[in-house]
Amino acid sequence: MMAAAINYTPSSMLKRLLFNALAWGLISSAAQAQVGGLFAYEFLNLSPSARVAALGAAHIAVADDDVNLASGNPALLNAAMHQQLSFSHAFHLAGVQHGYAAMALHQPRWKTTFHAGIQYADYGDFDLTNEFGEVEGTFSANEYAFTVGAGRQIYERISAGANLRFVSSQLETYRSAGLVGDLALLYEDTASRFSATLVLRNMGGQLTAYAPGNAEPLPFEMQAGIARRLKHLPLRFSVIYRFLDRWNILYDDPNAKEDNFLLNDTPTERSRSSIWLDNFFRHFVFNAELLLGARDNFRLRAGYSHLLRQELSEADYRSFAGFTFGLGIKINRFRLDFGRTNFHIGGGVNQLSIATNLREFKRTTPRN
């Protein structure tokens, strides 16, 4: 998969691979509405960095020097990421935490940029009880994904990339391992400051299931996105369309109660147009990044996911569920980022990232 994605001249193998992956995604996706809780290794969809978290947990159409972006779109890999090292950590509620560490290297001879990363999710310790509710000990749960990937320019404005992940999951005595891959294409017009991308994420399957003979599907997803930086304003915005491989992503909650009543106490039903619009906008993530300073050293970020808004907000309470925000600043050789995701009225998740480029630590040789 990786070799096909980084050939300088697109071969019939690359075209066949992308077509087969596209067709596989369209025909294999379950025709069910719910998008959460149906798949193994859901932690793969967690934000790899504070910057991505601040931009709505989806940022796939911008190619710059941020190595973390290659986790979600390997076609973004480029020479500007050479020797960049990054580490991120998120603090969830109840002691749950996850993070990501990555590094990239550019190989001029092959005109290809490579990256490697490790993603982890630690769910903490749990009480181990018997059928009577008596505590007999504790157990832990954690998951890891080891990623390698490559990307390169294959045409004047088109780049391609691929990721390969080995996933390890341990939930009490249940263990599973899997092999997962990503494919991506990027179109970038630097003159007009516009880019567009198509990403096929989390293709693959379990090598070993939690229960023998009971293999579970992976959270495969097709994404498309565009990004544009304004010419006379230091602002870059992106629009990402998620779940391109399925249309209906509404969750039909049987416990939901309608609180809109007519005078005869009959619950009102939503119109078909209202349901259609709700489902349509759940596919989108909107974000914007304000770039300040001569070298964009200070950045303000915000994002919105209608899917998170609808799934996690309370009907009778106002909240910022679905909204994300954050900032980034470069101090000396280090870039520090903060991201905040508002999941629920009860609280949100803070994520921190620190990144540096090892080339900046090399001492310049004084001239004689």
Q: How far apart are CA 90 and CA 336, in angstroms?
A: 14
C-beta separation of 345 from 312 below 8 A: no
Q: What is the pLDDT of residues 11-53, one digit of tens each?
A: 343 344 444 444 444 433 333 445 656 789 999 999 999 999 9
* Percent share of the chain, pLDDT over 90: 64
User: Residue 162 is which amino acid?
Assistant: A
End-to-end CA distance of the chain: 50
C-alpha distances in Å from residue 292, one per residue of 205, 236, 238, 278, 325: 43, 11, 17, 35, 16
pLDDT at 193 over 60: yes
Range 261-285 average pLDDT: 78
pLDDT at 283: 96
What is the average pLDDT score of the chain?
86
The count of other CB atoms within 10 Å of the CB of residue 177 is: 13
Q: What is residue 14's three-state secondary structure?
A: helix
Domain ranges of the chain: 2-361
Q: What is the pLDDT of residues 335-366, one digit of tens each?
A: 999 999 987 776 789 999 999 999 988 755 45
Q: Looking at domain 2-361, does it have CATH number 2.40.160?
A: yes
